[in-house]
Amino acid sequence: MGISGMIADANKILWQRGLTLVQSGAVRYLDNDAWLNHTNVLAETNAVIDAMMDSTNSMGNAVELYFVRTLDGDNGPLGLRRPKGIAIASEAGGRVIAHEVLHDCGLEDIYIADDQGNPLLEQVSEQSIPADWGGGYYNPWVLQHGLIKRLVMCSRLDPDEIAGTDLPSGNIRGWHHGAGGGGTSLILGPAKVGQSSIVKTPGSH
Ligand SMILES: [Zn+2]
């Protein structure tokens, strides 16, 4: 799928917030092989990624999208949001673009399982999703990790899982990094994955 098709798919998700990505001008090709496959992408500093993202500067007025081949190899993340821009791997689609743009708006990742891979098997209750999905009426067999899979901010799902695109109105209980950010171990609690935590217009510096 071409870039315009992926952006059209991302927009179908971002419309839940009234956001529309519009391509500014023609696609620009960066002639540097060192920027095709990135490594150590979750490190706090990464001079190669910074150099790539400094090749364009929208001064925060636009989202800078960098389409690369891989981020930490074939099993690495499909998207990466940094203040300077968003990198998208070749295996990604519109859902990854929307997910990374929503990080730029202030949302965080939510996970169905803890750091050891234990899924969140508790049943859905009104306390765990106070603002969303049915006002307290749920089928008795619905588990919290099943609802988390529906979220656009759900991260690190198995590739064979169908990743959801929901942008709920409020916080959702699940495994998340919390205030410590991406480098910290996961904690269980209300994750900022909904409209109520969108605090800014996306943009890259
Ligand atoms: Zn994420």
H or E element: which one contains 81?
strand 79-82
* CB contact set of 115 (below 8 Å; sequence gap of 6+): 185, 186
Residue after which a domain boundary falls, among 58, 80, 104: 104
CB atoms within 10 A of CB 96: 22
Q: pTM of whole model > 0.75?
A: yes
Distance 61 CA to ligand 1 centre (A): 22
pLDDT in tens, the chain (205 residues): 799 999 999 999 999 999 999 999 899 999 999 999 999 999 989 999 999 999 999 999 999 999 999 999 999 999 999 999 999 999 999 999 999 999 999 999 999 999 999 888 998 888 888 888 876 677 778 889 889 999 999 998 777 788 899 999 999 999 999 887 777 889 999 999 999 999 999 999 9
Distance 152 CA to ligand 1 centre (A): 9
**Total tally of structural domains belonging to the chain:** 2
Alpha carbons 4 and 137: distance in angstroms, whole number: 40
Q: Which token pair is 190? A: 């209300």
The residue segments making up the domain with residue 142 are 106-205
Distance 104 CA to ligand 1 centre (A): 10
CB atoms within 10 A of CB 86: 23
Q: Within this chain, do residues 85 and 122 fall inside the same structural domain, yes or no?
A: no
Length of the chain, in residues: 205
Q: Within this chain, do residues 60 and 115 fall inside the same structural domain, yes or no?
A: no
